[in-house]
Amino acid sequence: MLSTIFRKDVGYTLIFLFALINGVLIYHDFYYLLLFPVVLLVSYWFVFRLDIIFLLIVFCTPLSFNFENLFSGGIGFYFPTEPLLLLFTLIFIIKLIKDKKLKPELSHLKHPLTTLIILHLGWIFLTSISSEMPLVSFKFLLARTWFICPLYFYGALYFKKGPKAIKRFIAAYTIPMFIATCYTLINHMTHGFSEEAGHWVMWPFFKDHTSYGAILAMTIPMAFWLLKNSTNPIYRFFYILIIVTLLIGLYFSYTRAAWLTMFGGLIVYLLYTYRIKLKWLIYISVLPIIFFIFNFKEISYVLNKNDAEHTTEDFSERLESMSNVSTDASNLERLNRWNSAIELFKERPFFGWGPGTYAFVYAPYQDASDLTIISTNFGDGGNAHSEYLGPLSEQGVLGFFAIFAIVFAFFYYSGIYYIKSTINYNKGITLMIIVSLATYFSHGILNNYLDTDKASVLVWGLISLFICISSSELLQKKENVN
């Protein structure tokens, strides 16, 4: 009894002292102590509830911002996600070492995809040693590790909790993405939904309209899945609102690649849903290939005559501008980056120039005939605009095959599992993952965002979710997930 009273007295005393000290500091314009309870709560979760931190990271990702872009001369990291991911990785590794019970829980990760991902990280490590700029490359390796370790490896533990945990993960990303889209649309509306404003109205949550469009295309299939797996009328209305908002956001993102990949994702969905056989796809695809070969000169002539510009607000003209390789600066600059990546690969075909170094080394390898009005020689022009050519130039031929093998293996194993599975819930969520990642990896031909938290959290998290669904016995029974 006395100990209970003593603990209460100590607690009340500490609260009183905190309020008193905080009041004095606020009087002197020092407000940072207000964050102490938040820091204390998050610290508690890090020690005892990693699952809450996991969802917190996922929730914060669509709303994170880059410090380097927000503050002049700032350090280049995404806040608050990357500091949380770094700390999460360290604590998770410590828990794996100390808690022997966790290792058997990860046994279902004995999957070819896991092997490929580990080889991918290992090759990044080796090419960082031989890198032209080792500091940049090891920073790249660290960032890739703190994306993969929490989302892929811990994610496997989290998803084994069952359908309710899976639904929380999907909702934890979709809802803040809805918030970011609302912010962008309201900001865009104040500027008349102009194409010019469409390049920056999503700031500070997204650096440009292309990354914004790519993530929207990934999130929309997830929102449809949430709607399909909800029976509560209030939830269903809310998810319908989210879907409509995301589609409007995608349209006004003015991102041509995202529009096409969204259409491609719809085709993938129809192919799987109606079980169209692969041989029929091959037969159908042979015809346009033959047509293209026999009419190559005429097609080239038409493409060279195409002067549609991507700066128009007209939907059809923006799509038409994707094939404009004569005057469209965006398309021409992308070709310039690709050609530069190939030239970099030719000089260092095996180890490459080092992970993350493309932006710093590509300038001298630009051909004068490829330069455009938006070309730069100062190492500030970004990356190779390809999820595949970037690793080719930075990590050599094995780096290219590592990322290509991960993509191929995912679609191969997920496709086989979808066809063979007899459990409707598992089939439904597998198809959602396939469609969502199909939009991203097809978009990856034209852009690359795996060095950002927005894309990495979803890509590695969804791959981990598929591995868990296809391997774990916990999801073999029907559960109420509403």
pLDDT in tens, 411-421: 999 999 999 98
For the chain, percent of residues with pLDDT exceeding 70: 76
Query: Which residues are bridge partners to 65 per DSSP?
Result: 79
Contacts of 297 (CB under 8 A, 6+ apart): none
Helix-helix angle 233-251:256-273, to 10 degrees: 130
Pull the structure tokens for residue 450: 């795996």
User: Across all residues in the chain, what is the average pLDDT?
Assistant: 83
Measure the CA–CA gap between 134 and 127, rounded to whole angstroms: 9
Beta carbons of 68 and 76 less than 8 angstroms apart: yes
Closest CA to 397 of 348, 327, 470, 333: 348
The Cα 369–Cα 371 span in angstroms is 6
Give domain limits for the chain: 102-282+380-475
CA nearest to 252, candidates 327, 183, 173: 183
Higher pLDDT, 478 or 266: 266
CB 91 within 8 A of CB 50: yes
Task: Grade residue 370 by pLDDT with cuts at 50, 70 and 90.
Answer: confident
Regarding beta strands 78-79 and 65-66, do their DSSP bridges make them parallel or antiparallel, or are they unpaired? antiparallel
pLDDT tens string 196-229: 898 899 999 998 899 999 999 999 999 999 999 9
pLDDT score of 195: 85
| Continuous H helices in 28-133 | 36-48, 50-60, 67-70, 81-98, 102-105, 112-129
Top-confidence residue, 317 or 146: 146
Q: How confident is the model at residue 91 (pLDDT cuts 50, 70, 90)?
A: very high
Q: Provide the pLDDT for residue 353.
A: 96
Residues 6+ apart with CB under 8 A from 228: 428
* 65 phi, psi to nearest 5 deg: -140, 155
Amino acid 58: pLDDT:
97
* pLDDT value of position 482: 45
Based on DSSP, count helices (H) and strands (E) in the chain, helices before strands: 21, 2
Tokens of 72: 């002049």
Q: Please report how the helices 134-148 and 81-98 are oriented relative to each other, as an axis angle in degrees rounded to 10.
A: 70
